[in-house]
Amino acid sequence: MKAAIYAYTARGCRLAKNLKSFLPKAGYESVDIKSTAKFAAEFSLSAFSEPAAKTYAEDFSACDALLFVGACGIALRSVAPCIKSKEKDPAVLVIDEQGNFVIPVLGGHIGGANALARYLAPCLGAVACVTTATDVNGLFAVDEWAARNAMVIDSLPAAKKVAAALVAGEEVGLSADFPVSGPLPKYIKIKDEGAVGFRVALNTEKSPYSETLHLLPKIVRLGIGCRRGVSVEQIEETVERVLAEAKIDLRTVKSIASIDVKKDEAGLLAFAEKMSLPLHFYTKEELQAAAGNFSASAFVSAAVGVDNVCERAAVRDGGERLLLPKTSLAGLGVTVAAAAEDLLLDFTLKR
């Protein structure tokens, strides 16, 4: 992950350097401190662009977290023109230059600002000023939990209904296609009907509650094989149709994989870019070593040196159970398979 820290005084720059030392353990591999030209030169930091609004806009789009060492007003005015949505905005935090308070002001749950504030506060000997209703009442925050566990939130209004029910002390249902381990959060109960609840599954087919929040875990690894020269449209049509028939929501796909002889396949590269998904390639030896029972094709074996590309690629890429065996559509020249990582829902884990 990537973070930017902004400081405006000598004291603030010293605190910013201290902050930077703590961020790698929170998962931020790239951290840049920025200040005015004067302090950037004095403390060997990056300087703001001219105008500074350009820096804030660029970092807001590129970073996972923005940390302002200074006043809340500066932070709010700086990011206000950049704010898009609760789903897309990064974490924005304010730390006063004395290091007394760490205040998440944007992206508290989905952006991870609340969690980052709780991590940084004891590092600085500061107080984390978290104000969201579920947090101050010690309740489960479904949007934060979903984001932390790489789940797509199908409806933010539904997530708000879940949060409101919890704050009101009402029972919220849980339905899942995956095993659940350990104690459940307060007011959460596994049940198949009710007024409000959330469901964890690879699709949105079932809505067991009057107000159902669907959470879609990104655990599906997609394996793709194709003939030379297929278009991005052919790949997209095949993937969308076969996943729909298998009741696998496209939003649950985490990555795409194929054989290394397809590294220059324009349609495949374009499809991965369009879906904003990582595309991994494996050698025939790596695919052959994938564990499992796979359908075999003498034609494919003669062409690329391994009896099956899509199924083996999906498993080799991290899928632990095959959800969708090798499937194709007549005349399109594309084969698709899907495998899923194992998932255990444990509400006590802080990953």
Q: Are 116 and 65 in contact (CB under 8 A)?
A: yes
Q: Which of 300, 327, 340 is nearest to 217 (CA)?
A: 340
The two structure tokens encoding residue 63: 């970073």
DSSP 11-23: HHHHHHHHHHHHG
Nearest to 222 by CA among 343, 322, 333, 344: 322
Cα 146 to the chain's mean position, in Å?
9
For domain 220-340, the question of CATH label 3.40.50.300 is answered with no
How far is Cα 240 from Cα 237, in angstroms, rounded to an integer? 5
Structure tokens at 119: 């991590």
**Average of per-residue pLDDT values in the chain:** 92
Strands of the 30-35 sheet, one edge to the other: 46-47, 30-35, 2-7, 65-69, 91-95, 101-106, 127-128
CA dihedral 283, 285, 287, 292 (to 10 degrees): -170
Confidence of residue 174 (pLDDT cuts 50, 70, 90): very high
Residue type, 43: F
Q: Is the pLDDT of residue 112 over 90?
A: no
- pTM, two decimal places: 0.78
pLDDT band per the 50, 70, 90 thresholds, residue 61: very high
Tokens of 140: 């489960």
Say how far residue 139 (Cα) sits from the centre of its chain. Answer: 22
Phi, psi angles (nearest 5°) of residue 33: -100, 130
What burial letters (b/e) apply to 161-181, b meaning 16+ CB within 10 Å? bbbebbeeeeebbbbeeeeee
Task: Give the fold, CATH level 3, of 142-217.
Answer: 3.40.1390
Domains of the chain, by residue range, sit at 2-131, 142-217, 220-340
- pLDDT tens digits along 282-293: 999 999 888 888
CATH, domain 2-131, list 3.40.309.10, 3.30.70.380, 2.40.110.10, 3.40.50.11220 = 3.40.50.11220
| Fold agreement between 2-131 and 220-340 | no
What is the average per-residue pLDDT within 193-206? 96
User: 350 falls in which pLDDT band (50, 70, 90)?
Assistant: low
User: What tens digit of pLDDT does each residue of 124-162 get?
Assistant: 999 999 888 777 778 888 988 998 899 999 998 999 999
Q: Which residues pair with 6 in a beta bridge?
A: 34, 68
Cα 306 off chain centre by: 33
Percent of the chain with pLDDT over 90: 73
What percent of the chain stands above pLDDT 70? 99
